[in-house]
Amino acid sequence: MNKFSARDITLVAVFAALNVVAAMLVRYGGGIVPFSLMPFMAMLAGGLLGARLGAMSIVVYILLGLAGVPVFAAPPFGGPAYVLQPTFGFLPGFAGCALVIGLLLKNRKQGGFAAYFLAMAAGVAVYYLIGLPYLYVILTFYLGKTISVGQLLAIGFTPFVVLDLVKAAAAAALARAVGRRLNAYGLNDSR
């Protein structure tokens, strides 16, 4: 069970590549935290690949970037120094997001939209619970900016939470539709 099949490796690689595309494709906002499609991809990874492979696809993406491949959304785009970016904490948060979603949907082959949406919303909560404290620590202790909790929320939460819930609804609908189609053809093995 700990070994990866060729299919597993391919799915992880495809989703890692999709994360690169999502990071580079849509980047809006001139603030510290930009709008991105990365949360959507993390939710899809957890919903379609399951906990282990979904989280692994995000980890592979992060490792590629830390190794120096220019895959991240903001300068320096890659390399170990990226861990000092205020938004870096959201990346491991996305891996946690995919993990939690995959665990919550593990035995839901015919689950309804509500079950999928609640799992996606739980994933959203995970990446905020990891990303926001990291954002605070880097801004406060590394960059020397004193910010309050209210300012932290205004920087990294309030402008994004509604859009992230819209992404969660879209990811829930897509993951449910694809999962049902795979089940209909007998292609969906247990996650």
Q: What is the pLDDT along the chain (191 residues), one digit of tens a residue?
A: 578 899 999 999 999 999 999 988 766 656 677 778 999 999 999 999 999 999 999 999 999 999 999 999 888 889 999 999 999 999 999 999 999 999 999 876 667 899 999 999 999 999 999 999 999 999 999 999 989 999 999 999 999 999 999 999 999 999 999 988 876 555 565 44
Domain extents for the chain?
A: 6-184
Q: What is the model's pTM? A: 0.92
CA distance 54 to 4: 13
At 31, which amino acid appears? G
Topology of domain 6-184, per CATH?
Arp2/3 complex 21 kDa subunit ARPC3 (1.10.1760)
Dmax (CA) of the chain? 56
Rounded to the nearest 10 degrees, the angle between the axes of helix 113-137 and helix 90-104 is: 160
